[in-house]
Amino acid sequence: MARLSRTKKKELYHSIKGARDIFGDEYRLREWFIERAKHVATFYGFGPIATPHLERAELFGTTLGGTTDVVQKQMYAFRTRGGESVALRPEGTAPIMRAYIEHGMHTWPQPVLFWYAGNFFRHENPQRGRWREFYQFGLEVLGTEDPVADGLVIHVAVLMLREVGLQNVLVHLNSLGCKECRAVWRKELVAYFRKHGNALCKDCKRRLKENPLRILDCKEERCREASTNAPQSVSYLCAHCKQHFREVLEHLDDAGIAYVLDHLLVRGLDYYSRTTFEIFFEKPGESAESDNSETKTEVGTEESEKKKLLALGGGGRYDYLGEVIGSRNVPAVGMALGVDRIIPLLREHGKIPKSLQEPPKVFFVQLGTTAKRKSLHLMEELRKAKIPLAQSLSKDSLKSQLRIASRLGVFYAAILGQKEALDDTIIIRDMDSGAQETLPFVKSIEYLKSKLRGKGQPRPPEITDEEDE
RNA sequence: GUGGUAGUAGCUCAACUGGCAGAGCAUCGGGUUGUGGUCCCGAAGGUUGUGGGUUCGAGCCCCAUCUACCACCCCA
């Protein structure tokens, strides 16, 4: 091992920028959310798929669009020792379309429905809810043009959020049209912005040449003003696309999903066509109470109002992606939820189950070397008997072991002392009453089983460690 | 990639206008022989994010850098 300076060492035990460790309750919360989302998706007929974290870099370059930020600056792309150019996947849709074509899924009953969950990677500057390695839960419907597929994807996405207690979600949506009508609209848009070119910010002047659609979701005040009267994609939709969009809206109406039309919603990936959408969570009950709660009405309208909502998910239709990858016409629609953005909301607004893990009910205590050496074997006997057990074998004193046992809130302690270890007996201590009796070890299993049958869940060892905020 | 704010023990934070770096929580041990929740005592834990500079002297001032948060950009 090379010797490292103190500074180097310090770097060594810090995760790299935009990446983090997930453990404890956050891990359990995340598992729980994914479990629920999976449950909903499965019910609606989505099957599982996992694609590689590494793909040919080209797969993303050609599909997402050469001018998009994701491809231009955010992709973790590198050459392997073998000389291939590969990339850590920045998104999930292109790989799934690749898989669809690679495995000839067009021979399956159409459409093919997939859910997926996993890590994705984008090299951008981290901020709230944005990581370089992040986790998405996504849905894809491949092989149909039917607007009900769009409705289904949005519906299931909203249901997954409702399932975990995030009731108030609002869908922003738009339609970009197909190749034909999108081209017409785009032309008009360029003409419009040419006329108002001076009003645009520096970036948007560049976008006007490269990717004029993106001017619409520029956040600069001046560009937003310029955009208000810009030609809207929906008014350029061809008859076919118009009908398609109308039917999508009808499906959402019928499903009781709240949505607003957002003419500025364009999205950054080139492969989108027709329906595009983003899903927002609205905090319930924003109404300020009028009591004397130390009125913050002084000057402070800034921070309370400007709280911009973070999109929890987004997606859309990508009818041309199949042609780009495999010269095959595969109309499809999909979406992804940003799990990292959902988890913090769950703590405040979610319907989290009381305990995310099954707490142990019995604590195994050992005393002395003979007992300690028998412990591993005896614990396995208890595991076979399906008795949820905890232990702290590395501790030697009885006191510290019981201390831990009581903190865990177990019902019983099974105490194996020097004497018991020699006798093949064990002491069962009732942690509430303090009463205890010595039993032959073989009998203690049945004894514990019958005792535990009556007991419910022990008080869980506090699942959430942060109460205020 | 750009801008703003901030970094002191594992966590939450102290330390006057520059003058010996501290507390609570958590951890570990102990409060006589093999019995927990409360309580008491003790220990360990830091080159003040890092590297320079100014100064007799820097946690504090200056510069750079890294990281986090916020915003832009973009997106989930």
pLDDT digits over A125-182, tens only? 888 888 999 999 999 999 999 999 999 999 999 999 999 999 889 999 999 998 888 8
Is the pLDDT at A450 greater than 50? The verdict is yes
Q: What are φ and ψ of residue A270, in 5° steps?
A: -65, -20
Position A257 pLDDT exceeds 90: yes
Distance separating alpha carbons of residues A278 and A316, to the nearest angstrom: 9
Å: A88 CA to B1 C1': 20
> Residue A32 CA to B42 C1' — how many Å?
43
pTM equals 0.87
pLDDT greater than 90 at residue A460: no
Mean pLDDT over A100-117 rounds to 96
Residues of A from 362 to 381 whose C-beta is within 7 A of strand B: which are they?
A: 367
Contacts of A398 (CB under 8 A, 6+ apart): A365, A367, A415
The per-residue pLDDT for A459 is 55
Q: Exposed, middle or buried by CB within 10 Å (0-12, 13-18, 19+), for A262?
A: middle
- State the pLDDT at residue A228: 74
A85-88 vs A54-56, strand pairing mode: antiparallel
Residue A211's nearest nucleotide, by CA–C1', is B74
The confidence score (pLDDT) of residue A289 equals 34
User: Which of A113-127, A210-224, A280-294, A444-458 has the weakest average pLDDT?
Assistant: A280-294
Q: Which nucleotides of B are covered by protein (CB under 7 A)?
A: 1-3, 28-31, 34-37, 47, 49-51, 66-76
CA of A7 to C1' of B51 (A): 10
Instruction: Give the pLDDT mean for A372-401.
Output: 93
pLDDT tens for each residue of A397-432: 999 999 999 988 899 999 999 999 999 999 999 998
Q: Is residue A333 within 8 Å of A273, Cβ to Cβ? A: no
Q: How confident is the prediction for chain A on average, in pLDDT?
A: 84
- For nucleotide B29, the protein residue with its alpha carbon nearest to C1' is A400
Q: Which residue has the tokens 């006329």?
A: A195
Residue pair A256/A197 in contact by the 8 Å Cβ criterion: no
Q: ipTM strictly over 0.90?
A: no
Q: Is the CB of A8 under 7 A from strand B?
A: no
Neighbours of A235 (CB within 10 A): 11
Strand B: which residues 126-155 of A lie within 7 A (CB)?
126-131, 134, 136
Rounded CA separation A311/A134 (Å): 14
Answer yes or no: is pLDDT of A255 > 70: yes
Q: Which nucleotide is nearest to A421 (CA to C1')?
A: B34
Give the pLDDT confidence of A318-351 residue by residue, as tens digits.
Answer: 999 999 998 899 999 999 999 999 998 888 888 8
Q: Provide mean pLDDT across the span A257-276.
A: 85
**Which residue(s) pair with A170 in the sheet?**
A280
Between CA A461 and C1' B42 the distance (Å) reads 28
pLDDT digits (tens, 9 = 90+) for A41-75: 999 999 999 999 999 999 998 887 776 777 767 88
